[in-house]
Structure 1
Amino acid sequence: MPRLLLACLLIGLLVRPAAAAFDTAAEEAILIDLTAGTVLFEKGADRPIPPASMSKIMTAYMVFKRLKAGDLSLDDTFPVSEKAWRKGGSKMFVEVGDRVAVRDLLRGVIVQSGNDASIVLAEGIAGSEAAFADLMNREAEELGLSNSNFANATGWPDPDHRMSVRDLATVASVLIQDYPEYYGFYSETEFTWHEITQSNRNPLLYRNIGADGLKTGHTEEAGYCLTASALRGDRRLVMVVAGLENVRQRAEESERLLEWGFREFTAQRLFETGEVVEQAEVWLGESDSVPLVMAEEAVMALRRNDRDDVVVTVSYEGPIPAPIAAGDRLATLTVEAPDMPSRSFPLLAGEAVDKLGPVGRLIAGVKHLILGEL
């Protein structure tokens, strides 16, 4: 039968009003505390929208993945096609017929937002931009990007090219966590190619707020957009805003959202990896109970005054029949806090429990029939 065991974590006796609501002029927005794996704010987060050049984060991700796998090197060179050379919009200014190193092409994509550099990378990896877009869509499925579809490597306007701000935040988060050796490209404020120096368009890099990436975007349909991340101490936030009216609004709204996230929330470590949370009852085991331990650290972003109102629930189907192996997943810990999405964490068996022998099972069965004991 289902059992719910409450592990109280200082449940507050007084109900405090929620912190003042936050809003933004952005049409779509999301703010994630990456350290705690918690969504702090969202607005239209799952709406498929034209991502403009922010989709170049996915283009860079495709390159980073191949670099880490050893299928590609920063020193490898790709030829510049006439298609890449002719492409309009933001440019790195590569010359047709040249061979350009992957390292420089990445800077052309990330710092200069070069459409030409994006196409050179796409053609070098997949043979054509269309084939590269197919690879992007396959990767999107693996990453669980449920509201994205790619038609090109640049973010060039296309009715079939869409991403949600949640999907953009997901790609940015994976890129930051899985490819730290290449993420540094995003904090470079300028890059020179063919004696043409261009500055990074990310306004937050120049505001001394801990920002170290990622990518701006702008088209008439998309408006002014930004995917950004900032690190303060051991806390990292990832933010996406879209549909803003101008460059100034993009900069101001982005900074305001990040500052709100750092100011109003703190990452709370509730349980350590391996910490015993509860004892679960065992059926026909050499021990009557088994410790339930955290499979991973439980960290959650909370409003600064809400820790006393956190409720932790442990749920499992019990009593759990023996034998039980150490490390078996037995239960789920759910953390709930005011005005925040709940989080769930797996709980494992902290030790093995062998099954009772025939005599022991007989005795246990008799006790259960006569005394109602397990």
Structure 2
Amino acid sequence: MHFLRPLLRNPSLKWIFIVAALVVATSRSASAEALLVVEADTGKVLQADNATMPWYPASVTKMMTAYVTLKAVKEGRMTLEQLVTVSPVAASQAPSKMGLRPGTQLTVENALAMMLVKSANDMAVVLAEGVGGSIDGFSALMNQNAQRLGMTQTSYVNPNGLPADGQITSARDLAILARAIIRDLPEYEYFYHIPSIRFGRRVTNNFNHLIGRYPGADGFKTGFICASGYNLVGSATRNGKRLIAVVLGSSSGHQRAVRAAQLLERGFASNGLGWLRPSLGTVDNLVPIDASPPNLRDEMCGGKRKRPASDEDEDTTIASSGSASGESPAMFFTSGLQAPMAKPSELLATGPAASEPMVVYTGPKKTGPALIAAVAVDTEKQTPAKRGKKLRVAVHKPAAAAAPKAEAKPDAKPAAVRHASARPDAAAKPTEKPAASAEKPKPAKPKAAAKPKSDAKPAG
């Protein structure tokens, strides 16, 4: 290092060495993930790290499932009100899912909302069979659309992203798909940013933590399987400018949202150092990497994790330092030395903004009193008695010591009922949960152990 000292005394050469060191640090820090930020309207690439590395898509696959379905609706080959049926194949899919029994019917729009908000694997198959006749037939349609859009690194085998040989994509191809959704389906794009759904008594928030937390967030989808890590395709609009961020292989559901928010913030930041960055061209012109997808199974689902990983990970741990939250000196420099901003990790640690859940239900399209009745039927099926029975088994309570059950019907009518096609109202307050069952006498026994968690590792 002694020979570098005379060179470092020269101010201009000193800055060159600093920039080079920061670039190396940035490339090393990004090696475990694939990251990409593009302008939605032009496709201009603002940042790309491993953007053309092949990757397992997991449930971001459902972006294409919804795209193919909504294209069929737009072209008049089916309608949002059309009924689709839960088949035995659909009902047999691994979680996350709605868990509807075979033979249950529901509308296309309700199935879409369930699939995109809860990431329901059974609903993806319901839609695939309704549009393409079978999983294989629908996968062929998915691949045809991918080829037409220029997604040269993508191959689909199923409509939900559960592990399957040959199901591959890249950050580049997912950004191309996100741009196609914005361009081709503006009237249906709201499906991709529904904040939450209410099905009977259950309210499910969107797994995409950007929705309702990051200012201007307006899409798209999350995904997780052990091999892929935590994936997210997100978008946001600020001052008329819309950006798309892709994060693949993050360490948790919370961290992928933090990373996406960091990418979006740097993309939106106005700075005077843009001339230092080499032109990356457009997303379509990024050169694919000829490699095998990284397999993150050991890292994501190995024995070191405290609990089984899933796309429903509610990890809200806030990083206490810049490096822990993904903010490095290199990232600070590449953001243009802008003024400090609120850390995305802190921004996304809060709950989502208040919004009225979109009501989804089984059966044909309904409105008014008929819709209220349909919601009541779905609520009645979700009886608290079943959960009580499971609890008694978990704590090993003897049958003779069980207290008499007090029957109390839950309030069948939610505080507010919205049709599934209605756009979410960000200003509305969330619907309160129905009243709980009547209190039961507490037996004089020591406090029982908590119900053990499932060993299953569901896909997103």
- Tell me the TM-score range normalised by the shorter chain: 0.5 to 0.7
Deviation at 1:233, TM superposition (A): 1.6
Q: Which runs of 4+ in 1 moved over 6 A?
A: 16-20
* Aligned partner of 1:341 among 280, 294, 308: 280
Deviation at 1:141, TM superposition (A): 1.0
* Aligned partner of 2:59 among 27, 49, 53: 53
1:84 and 1:210 mapped to 2: Cα distance?
A: 35
| Contact 2:41–2:179 (8 Å) recurs in 1 | no
Local SS of the residue matching 2:210: helix
Equivalent residue number for residue 116 of structure 2: 110
Identity of aligned residues (%): 36
Deviation at 1:176, TM superposition (A): 1.3
* Aligned partner of 1:202 among 165, 183, 208: 208
**Structure number having the greater strand percentage:** 1
Q: What per-residue deviation string (whole Å, max 9, x for no partner) do you get for residues 233-286 of structure 1? A: 21000011011112232122111111111114xxxxxxxxxxxxxxxxxxxxxx
Local SS of the residue matching 1:29: strand
Deviation at 1:194, TM superposition (A): 4.1
Local SS of the residue matching 1:205: coil
Equivalent residue number for residue 84 of structure 1: 90
Equivalent residue number for residue 228 of structure 2: 222
1:168 and 1:37 mapped to 2: Cα distance?
A: 12
State the one-letter code of the partner of 1:145.
M
Q: How does 1:243-282 map to 2 (within 5 A)?
A: 243-264=249-270
| Contact 1:53–1:218 (8 Å) recurs in 2 | yes
Decide whether aligned partners of structure 1 residues 198 and 94 sit closer, same or farther in structure 2, where only a CA change above 3 A counts: same
Decide whether aligned partners of structure 1 residues 90 and 186 sit closer, same or farther in structure 2, where only a CA change above 3 A counts: same
Decide whether aligned partners of structure 1 residues 55 and 30 sit closer, same or farther in structure 2, where only a CA change above 3 A counts: same
1:37 and 1:45 mapped to 2: Cα distance?
A: 14
1:193 and 1:247 mapped to 2: Cα distance?
A: 23
Larger radius of gyration: 1
2:280 and 2:171 mapped to 1: Cα distance?
A: 18
Local SS of the residue matching 1:147: coil
2:189 and 2:110 mapped to 1: Cα distance?
A: 14
2:155 and 2:195 mapped to 1: Cα distance?
A: 30
Equivalent residue number for residue 131 of structure 1: 137
| Contact 1:28–1:44 (8 Å) recurs in 2 | yes
- 1:73 to 2:12 alignment: no
Gaps of 5+ in 1: 1-15, 265-302, 310-336, 344-374
1:218 and 1:61 mapped to 2: Cα distance?
A: 20
State the one-letter code of the partner of 1:170.
I
Q: What per-residue deviation string (whole Å, max 9, x for no partner) do you get for residues 157-184 of structure 1? A: 1121011111111111110122111111
| Contact 2:96–2:121 (8 Å) recurs in 1 | yes
Deviation at 1:305, TM superposition (A): 4.9
Equivalent residue number for residue 159 of structure 1: 165
TM-score, with length taken from structure 1: 0.66
Decide whether aligned partners of structure 1 residues 151 and 99 sit closer, same or farther in structure 2, where only a CA change above 3 A counts: same
Answer with 73-82 or 36-45: which moved more: 36-45
2:267 and 2:107 mapped to 1: Cα distance?
A: 38
Equivalent residue number for residue 149 of structure 1: 155
Equivalent residue number for residue 421 of structure 2: none
Deviation at 1:196, TM superposition (A): 2.6
Decide whether aligned partners of structure 1 residues 208 and 243 sit closer, same or farther in structure 2, where only a CA change above 3 A counts: closer
| Contact 2:84–2:127 (8 Å) recurs in 1 | yes
| Contact 1:31–1:42 (8 Å) recurs in 2 | yes
Equivalent residue number for residue 240 of structure 1: 246
| Contact 2:209–2:254 (8 Å) recurs in 1 | no
1:131 and 1:208 mapped to 2: Cα distance?
A: 38
| Contact 2:85–2:104 (8 Å) recurs in 1 | yes
- 1:42 to 2:78 alignment: no
Q: What per-residue deviation string (whole Å, max 9, x for no partner) do you get for residues 10-60 of structure 1? A: xxxxxx988975666551111101133310111111122111001110101
1:228 and 1:164 mapped to 2: Cα distance?
A: 15
**CA RMSD, Structure 1 to Structure 2 (Å):** 2.3
Equivalent residue number for residue 100 of structure 2: 94
1:93 and 1:199 mapped to 2: Cα distance?
A: 17
TM-score, with length taken from structure 2: 0.54
Answer with 24-33 or 198-207: which moved more: 24-33
Q: What per-residue deviation string (whole Å, max 9, x for no partner) do you get for residues 114-166 of structure 1? A: 10000000001111111111111111111111100000000001121011111
Local SS of the residue matching 2:169: coil
Answer with 137-146 or 16-25: which moved more: 16-25
2:95 and 2:159 mapped to 1: Cα distance?
A: 13
**Structure number having the greater helix percentage:** 2
